Amino acid sequence: MRPSQIDLFAGLGDLEVFSEGTPIVHEGSLGDAMYLVLVGAVEVRKGERPLAVLRAGDFFGEMSLVEPAARSATVVAIEPATLFRLPHFGLQSLHDRDPSAFSQLLVTIVKVLSDRLRRANALVGDVGHLADWLAGSMV
């Protein structure tokens, strides 16, 4: 992105600061924004099970940019964290004001989602192999 596009993008959201242990979003709550981790670290949890640790440059909540819906996980700051919050309507504003920056943002999100899906598929495959092995050893 060009500096002017970065300035435009930055103007569409807000900075939020969280102390260690503070929940940022809750599973089941309405997802209305994407978050970009600028400083610190956050943990993504499904129930009490940790799923991932995200650090500077990582983002979460991107699905809410496409369609506001229930959050699929809880995210908690595991150290002091500064995040950039891009609300759902910010994506539409970016589209209207700079279609090129909008396209670059969407391509970045799709690449990350593709990588996450690839890793999830590998994990499901590993679980399937383990289940097959366990079923075979019990016969």
pLDDT score for 54: 96
Answer whether 0.95 is exceeded by the pTM.
no
Q: Which domain holds residue 111?
A: 3-137
Q: Which helix (H) or strand (E) holds 130?
A: helix 99-137
pLDDT score for 139: 58
pLDDT score for 138: 66
- Nearest of 139, 10, 31, 125 to residue 75 by alpha carbon: 31
pLDDT score for 95: 85
Please return the burial class of 91, using the count of CB atoms within 10 Å of its CB with bins 0-12, 13-18 and 19+: buried
CATH number of 90's domain? 2.60.120.10
For the chain, how many structural domains are there in total?
A: 1
- Residue 55, pLDDT > 80, answer yes
| CA distance to 15, 42, 64, 76, 95, per residue, from 10 (Å) | 9, 21, 18, 23, 14
Residue pointed to by tokens 């598929």: 121
